[in-house]
């Protein structure tokens, strides 16, 4: 709920910080309008909902489609509208306005590329869990990935009755096996050269700012994968008194008592918060 004092504290913390490490989860994209259920799901996937009983985009990603033609009809639609379209709201752009003149870095579990679409420097982004915009071998036979925008567009345009043409099924250029999405769903996830470069830049950012004043800005991070962002952010704040911690999320806020004085926790709509403090 709206808390003017906390909003003011957050704006001051961002304005006064020279260095900001952003940790972003699914709640940020949801706040930006990339919702996986409700009206948006019905509008984009109403046919799949009717035929298969799928109720949202997240669970639909695990549906055991009988054919690859159906699988890619679903996934091409999912990828196109969540990766290759800008978020409906200005949430990411407002965030950029707040941090663009800072020494910032972003680590995110989101795979929708909305940071880069909003204008964030790609060399300051670490997409830990993959990228909707990449194919990888399903085996995998190598640690390579391939851009998928052109093929995904063709799948979207040519699918009929929830199936793509067989001729559009993606295959690995190296071994001929089926290609799949570059998402960390099991131990076959491919960490390509770009992934490793981003991981190294994140490591270097942390080393560079060790022992210096730092604001950790956590946005929309829940408890699905807390070991990637939430727990490390809390541990850093507990261990180093020069670090301050800010957490924005709707309905999922918690901070240890030991760092409460150095923390700003706002249980509210992230889009609304960022809109207000950028005014």
What is the structure's pLDDT at 69? 98
> Which among 133, 134, 99, 101 has a CA at the least distance from the CA of 117?
133
Per the structure, the complete domain to which residue 67 belongs is given by 35-86+131-183
Does one domain contain both 44 and 57?
Answer: yes
User: pLDDT value at position 1?
Assistant: 52
- Assess whether 62 and 113 both reside in one domain: no
Say if residue 166 is in the same domain as residue 51: yes
Q: Round the CA-based radius of gyration of the chain to a whole number and report it.
A: 20
Number of Cβ atoms within 10 Å of the Cβ of 169: 16
Beta carbons within 8 Å of 64's beta carbon, 6+ residues apart: none
CATH number of the domain that residue 176 is part of = 3.30.1600
Same domain, 244 and 140: no
Check whether residue 72 and residue 143 sit in a common domain.
yes
pLDDT digit string (tens) for the chain, length 279 residues? 557 889 999 999 999 999 999 999 999 999 999 999 999 999 999 999 999 999 999 999 999 999 999 999 999 999 999 999 999 999 999 999 999 999 999 999 999 999 999 999 999 999 999 999 999 999 999 999 999 999 999 999 999 999 999 999 999 999 999 999 999 999 999 999 999 999 999 999 999 999 889 999 999 998 877 899 999 999 999 999 999 999 999 987 889 999 999 999 999 999 999 999 998
Buried-state track 170-189, b at ≥16 Cβ within 10 A, e below 16: bebeeeeeebbbbbbeeeee
Number of domains forming the structure of the chain: 2
End position of a domain, from candidates 183, 217, 247: 183
Same domain for 172 and 278?
no
CATH code (residue 214): 3.40.50.1220
Question: Are residues 50 and 77 both part of a single domain?
Answer: yes
**Same structural domain, 120 and 171:** no
Are 73 and 102 members of one domain? Answer: no
Is residue 197 located within the same domain as residue 243? yes
Asked whether residue 115 falls in the same domain as residue 176, the answer is no
């Amino acid at each position: 709920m709206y808390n003017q004092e906390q909003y003011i504290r957050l704006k001051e913390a961002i304005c006064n910080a020279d260095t900001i490490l952003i940790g972003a989860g699914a709640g940020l994209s949801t706040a930006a309008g990339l919702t996986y259920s409700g009206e948006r799901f019905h509008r984009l996937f109403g046919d799949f909902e009717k035929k298969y009983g799928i109720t949202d985009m997240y669970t639909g990603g695990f549906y055991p489609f009988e054919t690859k033609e159906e699988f890619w009809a679903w996934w091409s639609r999912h990828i196109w509208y969540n990766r290759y379209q800008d978020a409906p709201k200005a949430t990411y752009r407002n965030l950029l306005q707040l941090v663009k003149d800072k020494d910032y870095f972003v680590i995110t579990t989101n795979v929708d590329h909305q940071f880069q679409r909003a204008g964030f420097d790609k060399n300051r982004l670490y997409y830990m869990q993959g990228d909707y915009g990449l194919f990888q071998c399903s085996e995998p036979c190598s640690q390579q990935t391939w851009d998928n925008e052109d093929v995904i567009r063709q799948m979207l345009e040519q699918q009929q009755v929830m199936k793509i043409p067989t001729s559009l099924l993606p295959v690995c250029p190296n071994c001929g096996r089926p290609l799949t999405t570059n998402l960390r769903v099991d131990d076959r996830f491919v960490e390509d050269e770009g992934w490793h470069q981003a991981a190294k830049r994140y490591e270097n950012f942390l080393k560079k700012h060790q022992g210096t004043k730092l604001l950790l800005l956590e946005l929309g991070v829940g408890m699905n994968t807390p070991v990637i962002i939430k727990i490390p952010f809390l541990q850093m704040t507990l261990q180093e008194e020069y670090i301050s911690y800010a957490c924005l999320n709707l309905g999922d806020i918690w901070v240890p008592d030991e760092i409460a004085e150095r923390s700003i926790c706002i249980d509210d709509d992230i889009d609304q918060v960022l809109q207000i403090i950028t005014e």
